[in-house]
């Protein structure tokens, strides 16, 4: 019998192994079974039923050693190598049978010797066989004949290959001739069109020059906002130390500390005020660190290991670990003494009680991964597949749904006047925070918009976007224009954080950079 089915019991389709489970396979291999030469068909009417044969092999062996044993089993049925008409034998009886067999042929029978006899007459025959004296010559002839056959087979393969190549070359020449004829036809047809397009391009260039002159005039008049060299962000420094991509950042402004989470399963603590060096590396997660959040003097970290770890910021020690979700914890945010965690089709709401997290409620009705959570005033904004849901934090009810385009929502930012989200398909959508009407779609990135951040002053609001295309863009929310593009990382930019007018960015190149105006 077989321990693993080869066909589906429902539709009889053949089954194939997709991934071998090594641990289970080893345990099955330790099971003891009867040798198949010690079993016989059972007398019951059940198909494929077997019972132990007392006349067969008495051994029980491990399943993993089955093939080795059965290939050498003394009870294995064999045939006489001299004559197939000899009665069936067991392997243990073969040697005795060969001594008595009356059908032993001369080893030179293939050359024409007709001798057939038993072991005694076989040895006598060899002394007088006329082919025995020629056996070296016959063997050399056989070897040479075999070499010629191999050489002929190789030549046949080469000839077949050359014929195939010749046929393909002939087809390719025919196709090239056709393509050449078509290209000549296209060139003839397009020659006049190219000259027309050239004239049209010249007209368009003239119109663009007029439009640029008009925009410059509006800039000089202050309609679109004047250029301020003080607001150009420059890279001031780089934090180096992680051994894998940086996926999340969080700032503790009281102590000017920056926390960064990485694929190396660690959280690094950076001094952003004096030394700009790593103060400590926090270890505790068994998976990629995907999310960081601060509430009071506690740091909360979410990971691909499905847990949330609570850290005391004062002594930088782990104080609790919570098995939070059945899937990776993608995002964290805190508000109203509650922690919100996002995962696959789920947002969990936790009451913060000292170092403990008490599950308060699970928000449902989500259609995909929740990769973005933002809390602003009394509202929680969650991003999923082409959807932003707005929840009232006071009663944890969904009060509004914004429909987007461009695939999953990867990032959200909320300003005094706008709701902004970044999507998988490179787009940044902007809604009016009061009317919930979409007012603009910002384009420019050529990769997923992984992160958004906001710096607001009494005079203006700037939104920063980080993308898979390795760039950061700075957007003026007064006129929805990109005022600066920063290319300072060697890999996709995945995380942003702001503190005291400074911009921190984390990337797949394992670094964190700080920019200042």
CATH number, domain of 420, equals 2.130.10.10
Q: What is the pLDDT of residue 406?
A: 82
- 466 and 482 within one domain: yes
- Residue written as tokens 């089954």? 15
Look up the pTM and report it.
0.57
From residue 203, alpha-carbon distances to 14, 188, 206, 212, 394 in Å are: 67, 24, 5, 14, 59
Instruction: Give the integer Cα–Cα distance in Å for 496 and 420.
Output: 15
- 20 and 68 within one domain: yes
- 357 and 405 within one domain: yes
* Nearest alpha carbon to residue 145 among 133, 137, 157, 156: 137
Q: Is residue 194 part of a domain?
A: no
Query: Residue 513 in contact with residue 496, Cβ under 8 Å?
Result: no
- Per-residue pLDDT band for 121 (boundaries 50, 70, 90) equals confident
**Tell me: the pLDDT tens digits for 342-363?**
999 999 999 999 999 999 999 9
Query: Residue 417 in contact with residue 461, Cβ under 8 Å?
Result: yes
- Per-residue pLDDT band for 3 (boundaries 50, 70, 90) equals very low
3-state secondary structure of 86: coil
Q: What is the pLDDT of residue 349?
A: 95
- 240 and 112 within one domain: no
Residue 277 burial by Cβ neighbours in a 10 Å radius (0-12, 13-18, 19+) = exposed
Give the other-Cβ count within 10 Å of 272's Cβ: 22
- Of 10, 40, 75, which closes a domain? 75
- 368 and 295 within one domain: yes
Q: Is residue 157 part of a domain?
A: no
- 467 and 330 within one domain: yes
Instruction: Give the integer Cα–Cα distance in Å for 198 and 22.
Output: 67
- DSSP of 460-483, one letter per residue? -EEEEEEETTS-EEEEETTTTEEE
Q: What is the pLDDT of residue 62?
A: 87
Cα-based torsion angle of the residue sequence 234, 239, 243, 249 in order, rounded to the nearest 10 degrees: -80
Give the other-Cβ count within 10 Å of 501's Cβ: 10
**Per the structure, how many domains does the chain have?**
3
- 89 and 66 within one domain: no
What does pLDDT average to over the chain?
85
- 452 and 340 within one domain: yes
* Token pair of 97 as six digits: 């049978």
The residues with which 347 forms a beta bridge, in sequence order, are: 342, 363
- 87 and 45 within one domain: no
Q: What is the mean pLDDT of residues 416-424?
A: 93
Q: Is residue 145 part of a domain?
A: no
Highest-confidence segment of 48-52, 219-223, 502-506:
502-506
**Tell me: the pLDDT tens digits for 458-481?**
888 899 999 998 999 999 888 888
Q: What angle do CA 232, 235, 236 make, to 5 degrees?
A: 115
From residue 372, alpha-carbon distances to 107, 214, 219, 282, 346 in Å are: 82, 40, 36, 24, 12
Q: Is the pLDDT of residue 230 over 60?
A: no
Q: What angle do CA 415, 419, 424 make, to 5 degrees?
A: 125
Q: What is the pLDDT of residue 72?
A: 87
Q: Whole domain around residue 9: which residue ranges?
A: 1-75
Q: Is residue 179 part of a domain?
A: no
Q: What is the pLDDT of residue 213?
A: 60
* Nearest alpha carbon to residue 375 among 331, 423, 432: 331
Query: Residue 261 in contact with residue 270, Cβ under 8 Å?
Result: no
- 3 and 90 within one domain: no
Q: What is the pLDDT of residue 313?
A: 92
HSE-CB of 327 using CA atoms within 13 angstroms: 14
- 88 and 70 within one domain: no
Give the other-Cβ count within 10 Å of 387's Cβ: 18
The residues with which 308 forms a beta bridge, in sequence order, are: 302, 322
In 275-376, DSSP assigns E strands to: 278-283, 289-295, 298-303, 307-312, 317-323, 331-335, 338-343, 346-353, 356-363, 372-376
For residue 150, the 8-state DSSP code is: H
* Nearest alpha carbon to residue 398 among 423, 357, 427, 361: 361
Instruction: Give the integer Cα–Cα distance in Å for 500 and 515.
Output: 11
Q: What is the pLDDT of residue 95?
A: 81
CA 454 to chain centre: 32
- Per-residue pLDDT band for 456 (boundaries 50, 70, 90) equals confident
Instruction: Give the integer Cα–Cα distance in Å for 157 and 63.
Output: 43
3-state secondary structure of 183: helix
Q: What is the pLDDT of residue 288?
A: 95
- Residue written as tokens 């001739």? 177
3-state secondary structure of 19: coil
* Token pair of 389 as six digits: 């849901």
Q: Is the pLDDT of residue 35 over 70?
A: yes
SS3 content of the chain, % helix, strand, coil (to 5): 25, 40, 35
Buried/exposed 462-484: b ≥16 CB within 10 Å, e otherwise: bbbbbbbbbbbbbbbbeeeebbb
- Residue written as tokens 């797949």? 508
- 86 and 68 within one domain: no
For residue 234, the 8-state DSSP code is: E
Q: Is residue 496 part of a domain?
A: yes
Instruction: Give the integer Cα–Cα distance in Å for 459 and 448.
Output: 30
Query: Residue 325 in contact with residue 343, Cβ under 8 Å?
Result: yes
């Amino acid at each position: 019998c077989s321990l693993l089915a080869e066909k589906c019991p429902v539709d009889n389709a053949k089954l194939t192994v997709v991934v071998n489970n090594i641990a289970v396979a080893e345990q099955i291999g330790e099971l003891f079974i009867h040798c198949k030469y010690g079993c016989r068909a059972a007398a019951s009417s059940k198909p494929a039923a077997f019972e132990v044969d007392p006349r067969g092999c008495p051994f029980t062996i491990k399943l993993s050693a089955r093939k080795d044993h059965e290939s050498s089993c003394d009870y294995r049925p064999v045939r006489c190598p001299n004559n197939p008409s000899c009665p069936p034998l067991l392997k243990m009886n073969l040697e005795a049978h060969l001594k008595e067999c009356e059908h032993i042929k001369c080893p030179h029978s293939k050359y024409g010797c007709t001798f057939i006899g038993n072991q005694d007459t076989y040895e006598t025959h060899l002394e007088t066989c006329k082919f025995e004296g020629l056996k070296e010559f016959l063997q050399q002839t056989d070897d040479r004949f075999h070499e010629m056959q191999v050489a002929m087979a190789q030549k046949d393969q080469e000839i077949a290959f050359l014929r195939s190549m010749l046929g393909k070359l002939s087809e390719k020449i025919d196709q090239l001739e056709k393509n050449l004829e078509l290209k000549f036809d296209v060139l003839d047809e397009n020659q006049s069109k190219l000259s027309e397009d050239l004239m049209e391009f010249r007209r368009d260039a003239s119109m663009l020059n007029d439009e640029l002159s008009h925009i410059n005039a509006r800039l000089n008049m202050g309609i679109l906002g004047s250029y301020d060299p003080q607001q150009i962000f420059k890279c001031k420094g780089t934090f180096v130390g992680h051994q894998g991509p940086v996926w999340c950042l969080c700032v503790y402004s009281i102590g000017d500390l920056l926390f960064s989470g990485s694929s190396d399963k660690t959280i690094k603590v950076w001094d952003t005020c004096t030394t700009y060096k790593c103060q400590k590396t926090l270890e505790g997660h068994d998976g990629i660190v995907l999310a960081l959040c601060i509430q009071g003097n506690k740091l909360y970290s979410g990971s691909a290991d499905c847990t949330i770890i609570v850290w005391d910021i004062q002594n930088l020690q782990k104080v609790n670990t919570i098995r939070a979700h059945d899937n990776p914890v993608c995002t964290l945010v805190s508000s109203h003494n509650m922690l919100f965690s996002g995962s696959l089709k789920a947002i969990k709401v936790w009451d913060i009680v000292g170092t403990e997290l008490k599950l308060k409620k699970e928000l449902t009705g989500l259609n995909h991964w929740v990769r973005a959570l933002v809390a602003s005033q009394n509202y929680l904004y969650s991003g999923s597949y082409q959807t932003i849901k707005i929840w009232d934090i006071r009663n944890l009810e969904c009060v509004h749904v914004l429909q987007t385009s461009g695939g999953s929502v990867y990032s959200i930012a909320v300003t005094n006047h706008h709701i902004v989200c970044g999507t998988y398909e490179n787009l940044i959508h902007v809604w009016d925070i009061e009317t919930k009407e979409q007012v603009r779609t910002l384009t420019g990135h050529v990769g997923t918009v992984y992160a958004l951040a906001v710096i607001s002053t009494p005079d203006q609001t700037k939104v920063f976007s980080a993308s898979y295309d390795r760039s950061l863009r700075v957007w003026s929310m007064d006129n929805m224009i990109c005022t600066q593009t920063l290319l300072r990382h060697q890999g996709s930019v995945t995380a942003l954080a702001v503190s005291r007018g400074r911009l921190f960015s984390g990337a797949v190149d394992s670094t964190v950079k700080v920019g200042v105006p």
